[in-house]
Structure 1
Amino acid sequence: MCNNYCLNCKNVPQTSIQLTRYLFWMIKVSIITYLIIFGLLPIIFHYSYTIQKKILFLNFVQWPLNVDFSKPESIGMKGTRNFYLKTDQQVKIGLWQILPQSLLNDSTIITDDDYEAVLKNTKQPIFLYMHGNSGNRASNHRLELYKLFQNLDYHVVCFDYRGYGDSEEAELSEMGVVNDSKSVLEWLLKIVNGTAPVFVWGHSLGTGVSVHVLALLGTEKIQPSGLFLESPFNNIADELSEHPLAQIFKHLPWFHWVIVEPFYNNYLRFESDKHIKKIQCPIMILHAKDDNIIPFALGEKLFEAAINYHGNNTNQIQMTRIDASHGLGHKYICRYKDLPNIIKSFVYEAHKNQTD
């Protein structure tokens, strides 16, 4: 005698049949989804240089939106001029020059020539800022850092790489953004002509850019007064492997071949741990232990690489480790209460050693 739950029996409750069909459908959808996420998409990623660049640079993420870069005062940046430079590769780059606090009320500084004259004649430190991926030079956490520099009575020059902000669209690559940054730094060093100390500040991806730039200039015996590396990584291969999103795929046996190797083969390497050996100016590394974008351990690796090359010389290489209890993460070291004193002390010592 057939029981009530036989699938071939007309007496089987309809809810049981529907549930079985639903379970089979869910299993089918799960398998297809898994194959797409862990099979098809990684293969597409592996062979698409365009996608790799978009993932690395995130320049399509433009925030804040609808910024009028020609009116920096509209987003709270006083004493700031907007201007443009052409790099040696003829890429038009958008920049801001931000006056120090002591010059904000100087009514004689109006035109571009006035602003440039200030740079030529100043004795105060000048910071050149190289930002990370996504956003532009008007992003909120970057504005906070500019204002910190401004309150310390330092000059600031910041800019957007090609394809970011209002800078010209051009082929994005490691050497592309490095050449843009190198052109800006060379322009600044030429304007200043040794009358004031120039410091470079790189954040996140900007640490890879700034280290590569200074390594290239190091071969020409040209160096700024010092380099700050905020939330740095040692190289892109390790950053890709340790990024939180990578943990979804890292268990797969082909992870390195599919995800990591294409960046290396396409010269998207940002090997700061190799380039740092060519830098001769003092370096300060700043990293928060609760950084969930670039793990703190990668900043430690970069510090160790620098120490191996340059020796345990605190006048050359320093690292500030910021406890997770401060909650500063990846973007807000600018809010660290000890940061102004760290900057002032480093600037003073670096400039002193340069002039001795």
Structure 2
Amino acid sequence: MSERKPGDALKSIASLWYRRVRRVFIGIASLYALAVILVMTPLIQTHVLYAHYIDFLSFTKFNHPEHYGLAPGKTVNLRLTSADNTSIGAWFVFSDPFYQQLPYPPPANRDFSFPRQELISTAVKQAPTILFLHGNTGTRAHHLRTVLYTAFTARLKANVFVIDYRGFGDSEGHPTVHGVSQDARAGWDYLISQGTKPEDILILGHSLGTAIAALLSAELSSEGIRPRGTVLMSPFSSVRTLIDQYYLFGCLPLLKPLSLIPLAPRMISWSLVHRFDTLTLVPGIKSSVLIVHADDDKDIPVSHASAIFDAFLQPYLPSSPRFPENPFSHQEWDNYTAQDTLRTVIRKDVVATINVEGYAVYEEMQPSVVAKESRKVALLRTERGGHDIGRVEGVHDAIGHMFNFY
């Protein structure tokens, strides 16, 4: 019987480790390819972007708003009809000053007729109304949203009108870019039908809702209608950019490796079904705009908010210089730094910046620019707040001061 040489044992171990490492890399590559394929699948795109089915087993009782922390008789459950006859659900929440002057306890609501529905037309004449356009996942009854209604009705003394887009909650249909835009317009039209003046309606969107808010605001602007303003909380500049910057499990770049493959990024763009793109809407939005984002937002990078704010400033600034490609000469680098410095200097003449230490950086158009635009545009970047930044009291204050709720 022949003896095995020590070198043979080492080769066997190396071969075993090679096979194992190869299997791991093949597994990772296969999972990555599957993730990319799923991203390019329309059905998956819809369910990931809107996440509207996540709450389908919650059996939410929209006829009982008090079950979700709202005061009895303060909220009216409604049905609206969009332009394409899709029926959607909505809540109208009375402002605290209006609600507190009503008789207590509220009248019985055994048949869910909501007798205080007839008071909506009076309430909208006594206080401004926030048209709230929520983000993906869940419904208008989600606890992270009801706390905002409570805050807005108390701290801003405003009514809140919130809709569930098609496919969400008790609303019919399936979400699409055009469809949810119609739903937002149905919410606006309902408030107008109740006697609300456009200047008394603040359009406020959060996350996915910021893209829908931008669509509605741009549509109204094209019709010569100017609301009280538009608030974009935790916005994204476009779905395409968001996907480019998305990290699986918070650490694995989803699409960046594809940039090395010719035409691959373009294929991803072609495959997108829901093409929300707030940046392209900026020139068409004529109302005052407040953009709010937290630096510690783990879902959407704060760079999206900065990009949107800069898009509003673009008519007053030189174009952003393009970083020279390697290898670059001293002359190319000097040109780049000179252009970047010039843009920074001019930006200071266009934007006033206030640094509130330990809280946020607040930027807004200088008074001279506000006079030319006949509106304000501002960016509030808080140090903390996460993705659900609407819970931060300082955000309420920024909204209150900018849009004259105080």
TM-score bucket of the superposed structures, by smaller chain: 0.7 to 0.9
Question: Which amino acid in structure 2 is aligned with residue 292 of structure 1?
Answer: K
Q: Equivalences for 1:256-271 in 2 at 5 Å?
A: 256-263=265-272, 266=273, 268-271=274-277
63 and 77 in structure 1: CA distance in 2 versus 1, 3 angstrom threshold: farther
Q: Write the mapping of 1:128-277 to structure 2, written as runs, cut at 5 A.
A: 128-152=131-155, 153-170=157-174, 172-194=175-197, 197-245=200-248, 247-252=253-258, 253-254=260-261, 256-263=265-272, 266=273, 268-277=274-283
Q: Which residue of 2 aligns with 1:354?
A: none
2:315 and 2:220 map into 1 onto residues whose CA distance is: 17
Q: State the alpha-carbon separation in 2 of the partners of residues 279 and 345 from structure 1.
A: 21
Taking a change above 3 Å as real, the CA distance of residues 97 and 34 of structure 1, as seen in their structure-2 partners, is same
CA shift for structure 1 position 103: 3.0
Q: Distance in 1 between matches of 2:164 and 2:116?
A: 23
**Maintained 8 Å contact 1:144/1:334:** no
Q: Which runs of 4+ in 1 moved over 6 A?
A: 19-22
- Per mean C-alpha deviation after superposition, the further-off stretch among 248-257 and 234-243 is 248-257
Q: Distance in 1 between matches of 2:299 and 2:292?
A: 14
Structure 2 residue 384 is the aligned partner of structure 1 residue 319: no
2:387 paired residue among 330, 334, 337: 330
What does residue 294 of structure 2 align with?
Answer: 288
Q: CA deviation at 1:298?
A: 0.8
Counterpart-to-counterpart distance in 2, 1:251 and 1:69? 45
Contact 2:68 2:143 in 1 (8 A): no
Corresponding residue for residue 118 of structure 1: 120
**Distance of 1:309 and 1:187 partners within structure 2:** 35
29-38 vs 123-132, which deviates more?
29-38
Partner SS state of residue 269, structure 1: coil
Give the number of aligned pairs: 334
Q: Following TM superposition, by how much is the alpha carbon of 1:66 offset from its aligned partner in structure 2, in angstroms?
A: 2.8
Q: What one-letter code is carried by the residue in structure 2 that aligns with 1:107?
A: P
1:62 aligned residue: 55
After superposition, the Cα gap between the structure-2 partners of 1:116 and 1:208, relative to the gap in structure 1 and judged at 3 Å, is farther
Seen in structure 2, the aligned counterparts of structure 1 residues 126 and 303 have a Cα distance that, compared at 3 Å, is same
Q: For 1:144 and 1:272, locate their aligned partners in 2 and report how far apart those are by CA, in whole Å.
A: 27
What letter corresponds to residue 308 of structure 2 in structure 1? L
| Alignment RMSD (CA, Å) | 2.9
Q: CA deviation at 1:234?
A: 1.5
1:96 to 91, 96, 99: 91
Secondary structure of 1:232 counterpart: coil
Residues 1:87 and 1:120: Cα distance change in structure 2 (over 3 Å): farther
Unmatched 5+ stretches in structure 2? 108-112, 317-349, 351-364
CA offset digits 1:189-248 (Å, max 9, x no partner): 232342871111100111001101111121111231111110112111111112233714
Give how far 1:144 is off: 1.6
TM-superposed deviation, 1:258: 4.8
Any gaps of 5 or more consecutive residues in structure 1? Answer: 352-356
Cα distance in 2 for residues equivalent to 1:4 and 1:86: 82
For 2:78, the aligned partner's letter is F
Deviation digits for residues 60-83 of structure 1, max 9, x if unmatched?
222892321110101111111211
Deviation at 1:305, TM superposition (A): 0.6
Which residues in structure 2 correspond to 1:38-57 (within 5 Å)?
Answer: 38-46=32-40, 48-57=41-50
Following the alignment from structure 2 to structure 1, what is the Cα–Cα distance between the partners of residues 119 and 205? 26
* Alpha carbons of structure 1 residues 158 and 22: separation in structure 2 relative to 1, 3 Å: farther
Measure how far apart 1:341 and its partner are. 2.1
TM-score (norm 2): 0.74
**Post-superposition offset of 1:251:** 2.3
Q: TM-score, normalised by structure 1?
A: 0.84
Is the Cα contact below 8 Å between 1:38 and 1:249 reproduced in 2? no
Deviation at 1:44, TM superposition (A): 4.8
* Alpha-carbon distance, 1:259 to partner: 3.7
Kindly indicate whether the alpha-carbon contact (under 8 Å) linking 2:283 and 2:312 is maintained by their aligned counterparts in 1.
Answer: yes
